[in-house]
Amino acid sequence: MASWLTRNVRVLAAVSFLQDTASELLYPLLPIYLTTVLGAPPAVVGAIEGAAEGAASLTKLAVGPLGDRFAKRPLIATGYGMAALGKVIVAVAVAWPGVLAGRVVDRLGKGIRGVPRDALLVGDVDKSLRGRVFGFHRAMDTFGAVVGPLIGLAGYELLDHHIAPLLYVAIVPAVLSVLLVFLVREPRRAQLRLKRQPIFRGLRELPRRYWRVTAMLVAFGAVNFPDALLLLRLNEIGFSVVEVILAYVGYNLVYAVVSFPAGVLADRLPRSAVFGVGLVFFAIGYLGLGLTTDPMAAWGLIAAYGIFTACTDGVGKAWISSLAGADRQASAQGVFQGASGFAVLAAGLWAGLLWGSDGTLPLLISGAVGGCFAVVLLVPVAVRSFR
């Protein structure tokens, strides 16, 4: 067995697959459920998702230092447990405030679990192999985002477009993911020493290069608005509800298939170069969706967007991981992921304000800025290769 494919990598990949199956079963259907069944106005849908993602981002910032100071497995189990509880709250809600509460609890769980999980994934893995680890984990996680919507779509059709029963179906894989967490093993070697240190000392000890890379990646996040707006653009181009869901599945399938090869490539080439290639596909996807009104072209552009995510999500985590010491992994990931989440939330706000009737302007702005970031990352690599 490959040295990077440790027990924890296998178990946590399975945990993420099950949890994402549950989450993504709900994701495409929840806006429909809120507006048509519970009678919430469209503004409430955006407010719920914004509050949920804001809660997750804030929690990641706080949990990072805790993940270096205390045992990680209890934090991971708590996070996945809260995600399962959030899905129960959504299922039993009879009005949109109940869905809001459930989504916030769910995303708080995501904020609690993500950072210590990512730190534990690479705990016993050499820096040169971490692209593979995060690539494999992102692939398994995202295959859940393929299976979940397909189950939701099949159930939606089989149940004569009744969404409420599907909310209970989503609870099953969520609970199974919590049970699997107890198969994770965690070494105790660093915890006793770190418990005696000030809780935020780890942030001060992160190197300058870490802060420079984090600042650049977070700055890019401010033009990478939430996927829901891209799905809205597809609907405006002429996609039906079913076609939008299938396009979302197709995006996740490309993302899942490309994630591991991108991770392997990031272990062989500069991670900045692989991330930069991802930004080229980001620019293609955003600029293309901003300019086209052809549904066939839109399918290809959504696939390009999937390649972007595959080349940046796990690769970005591996890049950040390589810049921090073994006992500062959670702190490093917490700042990076939390700040990136707030940047995406900000991107959603400004893009929503500029959306207008078809979203062309924010898509073109983001695509152009993303292309500039790609140049910043790729040109130095090209210059070094020709010396």
Per-residue pLDDT tens over the stretch 325-335: 877 888 888 88
- What is the homologous superfamily of the domain 7-181+201-385 according to CATH? MFS general substrate transporter like domains (1.20.1250.20)
Q: Enumerate the domain spans of the chain.
A: 7-181+201-385
Select the more confidently predicted residue: 309 or 327.
309
Mean pLDDT of 317-326: 88
Select the more confidently predicted residue: 305 or 71.
305
Mean pLDDT of 364-381: 93
3-state secondary structure 184-219: CCCCCCCHHHHHCCCCCHHHHCCCHHHHHHHHHHHH
Please state, in angstroms and rounded to a whole number, the distance separating the CA atoms of residues 236 and 252.
21
CA 26, 136, 326: angle at the middle one, nearest 5? 110
**CA distances, 324 to each of 106, 207, 335, 386 (Å):** 29, 7, 12, 29
Mean pLDDT of 335-362: 86
Please state, in angstroms and rounded to a whole number, the distance separating the CA atoms of residues 91 and 167.
5
Mean pLDDT of 56-64: 80
Structure tokens at 39: 């009678």
Q: Which of 57-61, 198-202, 303-307, 356-360 has the lowest mean pLDDT?
A: 198-202
| pLDDT given at position 376 | 94
